Amino acid sequence: MRALTVQPARPGPPQVVDVPEPLPGEHDLLVDGLAVGVCGTDREIAAGEYGWAPPGHGRLVLGHESLGRVRAAPADSGFAAGDLVAGVVRRPDPVPCGACAQGQFDMCRNGRYTERGIKELDGYASERWRVEASYAVRLNPRLAEVGVLMEPTSVVAKAWDQVEQVGRRSWFDPQRVLVTGAGPIGLLAALLGVQRGLDVHVLDIVTSGPKPDLVRALGATYHHEGVAEATRGAEPDVIIDATGVSAVVFDAICATASYGIVCLTGVSSAGRGASGRSNSSRRRVSVNVASCGRRPSNTARIRLSPDQLWKSVTVAGPNAAR
C-alpha cells in the first residue's frame, strides 16, 4: 500500500512510497484511511526541524490528524466495521512516569512518550492503518467530512479544560477572551469560547482573505493591529495563544486582566526570557497544552459542529496516499 512519508532531519517534500501492510495486533482495529490533516507540525517535520522515525527505520509515515472507517475490529473491542474513527496521537512512555501511569500521557514528565506521525511511531497518512481499540475515538457519522479535525479540536478542548481547572482555584467569572492566531487551532479555540457564551476576540496579522470573515461567522470580533490594539477596549480574562510566536506570547502575558490566564497551545522557540516584562503585583497564570489524551477528545466530540468545523478546513482534497 502507499503512504505519505519523510526522512526526518532531512529537509524535503514528503513522498508517497510503497510501505508494508500494517502488522496485525490482537486488540487493533484495521482502518481504511479517509483523510489526514496537515498542520504546522507536519511542515516542521518536512523542513527537517522536527520528527523521529520508528527505531530501525529510515522513513516516518506522516499524519497525526486522522480520519478513517473501520474495516475490521475484534469482537470485544466495542467497535464494528463501518464505524467512523480518529486515532489518538500520543502513547505513554514505557517507564512509566507518574503522569503516564495515571493515564495522563498528554502530561508526560520524562519526554519518553511516542506519537503517531511525529515521534517514533508511523502516522495515519496511509491507505490503511491499524490502531489499538483503546486509542481510537468513534465519531458521529455526521462528521464524515470534518472529523479529521478531531485531533486539533481535542487540543483546544484540553486548553479550555485547563483554563477552567486553573480558574476554579479561586473565584473565576471570565467574560472576555482573546485568541491570538486565526489558523485552524485559533478558529477552533474561538469556536469553543463562543459556545461558552464568552465575548471572544481573535488577533491575526492579515487584513483580507478568509480569516476575518471566518472569525465573524463564528460570532467573534477580528483584530489585526497587535495585542495592544486588541486589548484596548478591555483586558481579557483569558488569552489562548495559537501562534507559538514568542513576542506575541509575552505581550499576551502582559495584557491579561488581574488573575487572568494565558494558555499556550504550541511550543515557542527558545532564547527569550520574561524578566522585567510583567507587573508582579498583578497575578497571572500561564499554562501550556501542546498535546492531548483521551479525555479531552471525548469532550471535543460532544461539542463538534459539522457546519462550523467545515470552515476551518483550509484545503480539501483526496487522501494523499491514494
Whole-angstrom CA distances from 304 to 98, 149, 194 are 31, 9, 13
The pLDDT tens digits of the residues spanning 147-164 come to: 999 999 998 999 999 999
Instruction: State whether 121 and 217 are in the same domain.
Output: no
The pLDDT, as a whole number, for residue 271 is 46
Q: What is residue 312's predicted lDDT score, i.e. its pLDDT?
A: 54
Whether 128 and 8 map to the same domain: the answer is: yes
pTM assigned to the model: 0.83
Q: How confident is the model at residue 244 (pLDDT cuts 50, 70, 90)?
A: confident
**pLDDT-above-70 percentage for the chain:** 83
276 with 228, same domain: the answer is yes
- 148 within domain boundaries: no
pLDDT digits 0-9 by tens, 102-117: 999 988 999 999 999 9
Residue 143 lies inside a defined structural domain of this protein = no
Whether 302 is in a domain gets the answer no
Q: Containing domain of residue 110, as a range?
A: 2-138
Check whether residue 164 and residue 98 sit in a common domain.
no
Indicate whether 28 belongs to any domain: yes
Residues 126 and 160 in one domain: no
pLDDT of res. 246 = 87
CA distance 222 to 79: 42
**100 and 196 together in one domain:** no
Same domain, 225 and 274: yes
The grid cell for 160 is: 479550555
Tens digits of residue pLDDT in 115-131: 999 999 999 999 999 99
Domain stops at, among 94, 113, 138 = 138
Q: Within the chain, what is the greatest distance between any pair of CA atoms?
A: 60
Over residues 165-210, the pLDDT tens digits come to 999 988 999 999 999 999 989 999 999 999 999 999 999 999 999 9
Indicate whether 82 and 165 sit together in one domain: no
Residue 231: inside a domain, yes or no? yes
293 falls within a domain: no
Task: Examine the domain organization and report whether 183 and 127 are in the same domain.
Answer: no
What is the number of domains present in the chain?
Answer: 2
Do 272 and 246 contact (CB within 8 A), yes or no? yes
**Are 123 and 193 part of one and the same domain?**
no
- Same domain, residue pair 271 and 163: yes
Q: What whole-number percentage of the chain has pLDDT above 90?
A: 69
Give the per-residue pLDDT at 288: 58
The rounded mean pLDDT for the chain is 86
* CATH number of the domain where residue 10 is located: 3.90.180.10
What pLDDT is attached to residue 23?
A: 82
CA distance 178 to 239: 5
Whether residue 198 is found in the same domain as residue 117: no
Least confident interval from 44-58, 239-253, 277-291? 277-291
Task: Answer yes or no: is 308 within a domain.
Answer: no
